[in-house]
Amino acid sequence: MKNNVKTNQEITYDSIMSSPIGRIRIVTNQIQLLELRFEGERADSFEQDVFSDNSSVLELHQIVKTQLQEYFEGTRKEFQFPYLMQGTAFQQEVYQALLKIPYGTTCSYQDIAIAIGNPKACRAVGMANHNNCLPILIPCHRVVGANKSLVGYAGGLGTKLKLLEIEGVRGF
C-alpha cells in the first residue's frame, strides 16, 4: 500500500492488482474507492503494497481486489463497497445512467443521451465516459456505437472487448 498526499491534504492510498486486462491501480481514501486506473504493464508500477498501518484501508483494498477478481472470474455482477463518484453534474447524470445498464448487455451513446433527457449530447456522453474515474464499477465499457460497433474506450479497445467478453457479450 502506498500513500500519497493530495493538494487538498486528503491522504490517498494506492495499491496494484494484476488482472486479465493488465495491472489496475486502486486509489482510495480511508473510507472509499476514489479511482481505478488501468496501468497496463508500466514498468514504474509498484508490485507490492508498500505500507499502511491503517487496517480499515487495508481491508478496503482487499475487498475491492477480491470483488474485482470475482468479476473477472465471472462470478460477480455487482460491486458492494463504498466509492466516490466524481465529476460534473452532467457527468454524474451519465454515470447514473451507466449504472442502470445490466451486466452482459450494451447500449449506445445515443441511448445514454436519451436516458438523461439530452438526445443531442452523444459526444458529451462519450467525453463523460472517457473521464470516468471508476471504470468497470461504472460500466462505460458497455456503451457501444449506434451501429453496435466497438468504439472508444479510455482503457483501449482491447480492454473494452475483454470486459465485454467477461460479461458474455459477443459479436465484436
- Please write the tens of the pLDDT for every residue from 7-26: 455 788 999 999 999 999 99
pTM of this structure: 0.88
Domain residue ranges in the chain? 2-72, 89-166
> Taking all residues of the chain, what is their mean pLDDT, rounded to a whole number?
89
Phi then psi for residue 44, to 5 deg, are: -85, 0
The SS3 call for residue 129 is helix
CATH code for the part of the protein at 89-166:
1.10.10.10
What percent of the chain has a predicted confidence (pLDDT) above 90?
Answer: 75
Residue 122 annotated in active site = no
CA angle (40, 58, 159) in 5-degree steps: 20
Closest of 33, 38, 34 to residue 80, by C-alpha: 33
Residue 44 reports pLDDT greater than 60: no
Q: Which three cell numbers stand for residue 130?
A: 472517457
Look up cell 468479476; give the residue: 71
pLDDT per residue as tens digits for the range 100-142:
999 999 999 999 999 999 999 999 999 999 999 999 999 999 9
**Predicted local confidence at residue 5, as pLDDT:** 47
Structure confidence at residue 1 (pLDDT): 57
How far apart CA 83 and CA 44 sit, in angstroms, is 26
